[in-house]
Amino acid sequence: MNDTSTTTDSTSADVPSTDAVPRSRLLPILVVGVLLGGGVLAAVRYGGEFLLTEPPDEPDLTAIAAGESLGAEHTAVVSTVTEWPNLFGPAHDSVAPSGSPPVKPWNEEGPTEVWRIDCGTGYSSPVLFGDRLVLQHRLGDEEVVTCMQADDATTIWEHRYPTTFECDSHYTHGPYATPATDGEHVYTIGAQGQLFCLNAEQGDVVWQRNLVEEFGATHEVFGFGASPLIWNDKLILNVGGTEPESGVVALDKLTGETRWRATDHVGQTYATPQPARIHGADYVFVLTAVGLVSLDPDDGHVHWELPYATTIPENYNAITPVVHGDLLFQSVFGQGCMTLRILQDGGYEKVWESDRTLTSHYTPIVCVDGLLYGVHTNDKSLRCVDLPTGEVRWRWRSPLARSTQVAVGEHLVVVGEKSKLGLVDLDPEDFVERALTDDPLFASESLYSAPAYAHGRLYVRGEKQAVCLELSK
């Protein structure tokens, strides 16, 4: 058993302050935040004063009493594709669909390997629809979108386009954003903001736009990295453009025409827009480079804007908002984390806020039954945190370090930053480890991409290879 500890003290003295992170470590921290489109790194505030568009009532800073119901006000917005059609899966929450085959604990050799292939560089995650898998990667001076058979990795079609992007650090040169598909089209974004709508059957270009040239999107150190969101007949993008009202942009998903534009939030960010239906109304929540924004996905109307950005230079926002019930959880490096309650009138009240409970740099947060599972970056511990109260139920300082999680049934599949795998119980009372691999999936590689999961199989890509693992047998 690895070093495991449990706690209910969210301000434990052994957890260092965020402010204690040495400046020499900020660049490695910054890069991985780019990678998942759901990990953190926070943004420098751009432009002038940032005001609330419609100031809500004075927030209630008192934590909700333990055990209070989250209510049934929130309905998950689920893709029509049931496999893994976009970053974090069909319900945008890193949770496998109900009815997925249960994960079987493996021995020290790890799960059975179905296939392994060589691939190009980048931190884009795999996506799946039907019996197909799509991977976006870079080979030389081209970015490549490869569609293959999910069961054996046989290539069906490829779309290639030139790129000259160079990352200003020693990390890969992209691409960073993860594709999204509705089963008929595949939408991809390159490191230089090249947006394509491809026919899912053959890979032909249906339409294309350039987010840098048309909206003034900034790709700065790590290239454009915010993944697209398909919402009904629209493609919603966290652009951060310098052109007027180009912070968040919605396009017609069939034609590529601009449907609406909202906010003047300028700057690079890696958080994916998060859809939700709360109290019977549709919302999309976007963590921009400046803060958290609540929008009407139909017309782009801004309900409210909440400043929430890092105070640490050269860092970027990247954690995708987490919604459960009528509660919204957000984490930002340099700020900490907070939970908001979305009110009947569309406003919000602050429930709790902390800089020591669960602050992620880049790995996404999973929420199951009102419990958050994610890595607190200061001590690299995997934690279980009660969403309504902020109580830390347990923490595990594992050899997996900063890890990405996928919830499957009663288990959490944990993929470490050095590509080792773990399996733990989704248990709010005690930490229980079920399996842990001895060897990494990829030799001498750091793993910065979120995995995909469908039909009992886990799909993981490194910077040189991709692998499919059988978890249900």
Q: What is the pLDDT of residue 367?
A: 97
Mean pLDDT, range 106-128, rounded to an integer: 94
pLDDT reading at 226 higher than 80 = yes
Query: Does 45 have pLDDT greater than 80?
Result: no
Report pLDDT for 170: 65
**Token pair belonging to 257:** 């025409």
CA-wise closest residue to 70 among 281, 429, 329: 329
Q: Which band of pLDDT confidence, cut at 50, 70 and 90, is reported for residue 337?
A: very high
User: In which band, very low, low, confident or very high, does the pLDDT at 108 lie, cut at 50, 70 and 90?
Assistant: confident
Q: What is the pLDDT of residues 205-219, one digit of tens each?
A: 999 999 999 999 987
- How would DSSP label each residue in 102-125? PPPP--TT-SEEEEEEE--B--PP
pLDDT tens figures, 288-319: 999 999 999 999 999 999 999 877 777 788 89
Average pLDDT on 254-277 reads: 96
Residue 21 banded pLDDT, cuts 50, 70, 90: very low
Which tokens hold the place of 438?
């001895």
Q: How confident is the model at residue 61 (pLDDT cuts 50, 70, 90)?
A: very low
- Position 47 pLDDT exceeds 90: no
Cβ distance 113 to 468 under 8 Å?
yes
Q: Go through the domains of the chain in sequence order and give each one's CATH number.
A: 4-470 (2.130.10.10)
Choose between 176 and 39: higher pLDDT: 176
Q: Does residue 63 carry a pLDDT above 80?
A: no
| Contact assessment for residue 239 and residue 228, using Cβ atoms and an 8 Å cutoff | no
For the entire predicted model, the pTM comes to 0.86
- Rounded mean pLDDT of the chain? 85
Least confident of 18-32, 51-65, 153-167, 254-268: 51-65
Question: CA 11, CA 423: separation in Å to the nearest integer?
Answer: 27
Separation between Cα atoms, residue 92 and residue 84, nearest integer Å: 9
